[in-house]
């Protein structure tokens, strides 16, 4: 059962997670580290979230990652992420990875020609639909409608769904807050959590997200892990917070507890 987290409350799951030997803190970006904004490329992590992310990443046996649907290129831009960053990135719903000291792992791409063809067709479908924007991704594409009227979003999503049902019915479909995405792989944030858990031998995972696509990751969390849902909506998370501002407070509490346990 999901319960609302209060900054004034000492949460046993948070204390337990803080004491785990090797901690992975994985955060969605849009709507979690950053408020949702009309221009997707204008998104930036709140300063208070960024502060706590850097604080956690500096602790021993603690790995921090952004796990996002954004392409690696766009995720690095909005996360203000440079080559010396200690923050791990999982982009395109876990199809791309960037690791400190190593750099980016390039995904295999067996569907590049079809992806290019579908991209051209979808761009044509979007012509004349105000507020609907195309976003290329490493292994697929997204259609953003944050600036579109509801009836425009409905029409655009229906047209794209019809095209994909005809041309690429095997591609994975995801729909979130004013975005429809398709990917040529079945990779999702659930797989990303599994890959990062194994790579860093994590004994405990915190994952926080705000959208339907984040629930894939919530559902693979196990005993000793903690899922945090940002905002409203059905969720498999243990805790719910109301905003990215509260994510900063929760990360602050986690970092304080974890640092104290290592003194």
pLDDT tens track for 55-97: 999 999 999 999 998 989 999 999 999 999 999 999 988 888 9
**Residue at a domain's end among 183, 209, 242:** 183
**Residue at a domain's end among 157, 183, 209:** 183
For residue 110, name the pLDDT band (cuts at 50, 70, 90). low
Query: What integer best gives the mean pLDDT of the chain?
Result: 93
* Co-location of 49 and 91 in the same domain: yes
pLDDT tens track for 41-51: 999 999 999 99
Decide if pLDDT at 54 tops 90: yes
* Co-location of 95 and 117 in the same domain: no
* Co-location of 137 and 36 in the same domain: no
- The span from the CA of 100 to the CA of 118, in Å, is 34
* Co-location of 201 and 86 in the same domain: yes
Give the tokens for residue 261: 């346990």
What's 103's DSSP letter? E
* Co-location of 34 and 90 in the same domain: yes
Give the tokens for residue 193: 């959590």
H-run or E-run covering 230:
strand 226-230
- % of the chain residues with pLDDT over 90: 78
What's 108's DSSP letter? P
- The number of domains in the chain is 2
* Co-location of 8 and 95 in the same domain: yes
In whole angstroms, what separates CA 55 from the centre of its chain? Answer: 20
* Co-location of 27 and 156 in the same domain: no
Sign of the torsion formed by the C-alpha atoms of 48, 49, 53 and 59: positive
Helix, strand, coil % in the chain, rounded to nearest 5: 40, 25, 40
For residue 185, name the pLDDT band (cuts at 50, 70, 90). confident
Residues facing residue 136 across a β-bridge: 141
150-169: average pLDDT? 95
* Co-location of 148 and 197 in the same domain: no
* Co-location of 99 and 118 in the same domain: no
Domain span including residue 126: 112-183
* Co-location of 179 and 232 in the same domain: no
* Co-location of 78 and 199 in the same domain: yes
CATH number at residue 229: 3.40.50.1000
**Residue at a domain's end among 133, 148, 183:** 183
* Co-location of 57 and 86 in the same domain: yes
How many Cα atoms are found within 13 Å in the side-chain-facing hemisphere of 59? 29
Q: pTM score, two decimals?
A: 0.79
């Amino acid at each position: 059962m999901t319960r609302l987290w209060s900054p004034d409350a000492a949460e046993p799951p948070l204390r337990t997670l803080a004491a785990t030997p090797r901690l992975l803190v994985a955060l969605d970006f849009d709507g979690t580290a950053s408020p949702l904004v009309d221009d997707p490329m204008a998104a930036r992590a709140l300063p208070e979230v960024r502060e706590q992310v850097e604080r956690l990443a500096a602790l021993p046996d603690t790995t921090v990652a952004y796990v996002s649907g954004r392409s690696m290129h766009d995720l690095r831009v909005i996360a203000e992420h440079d080559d010396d960053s200690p923050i791990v990135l999982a982009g395109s719903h876990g199809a791309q990875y960037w690791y400190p000291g190593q750099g980016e792992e390039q995904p295999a791409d067996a569907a590049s020609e079809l992806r290019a063809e579908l991209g051209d067709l979808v761009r044509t479908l979007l012509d004349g639909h105000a507020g609907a924007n195309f976003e290329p991704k490493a292994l697929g594409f997204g259609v953003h409608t944050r600036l579109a009227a509801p009836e425009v979003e409905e029409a655009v999503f229906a047209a794209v769904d019809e095209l994909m049902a005809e041309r690429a019915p095997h591609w994975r479909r995801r729909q979130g807050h004013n975005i429809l995405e398709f990917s040529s792989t079945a990779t999702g944030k659930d797989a990303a959590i599994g890959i990062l858990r194994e790579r860093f031998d994590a004994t405990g995972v915190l994952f926080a997200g705000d959208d339907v696509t984040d629930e894939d990751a919530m559902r693979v969390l196990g005993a000793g892990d903690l899922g945090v849902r940002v905002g409203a909506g059905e969720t498999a998370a243990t805790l719910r917070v109301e905003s990215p501002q509260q994510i900063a407070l929760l990360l602050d509490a986690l970092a304080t507890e974890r640092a104290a346990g290592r003194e």
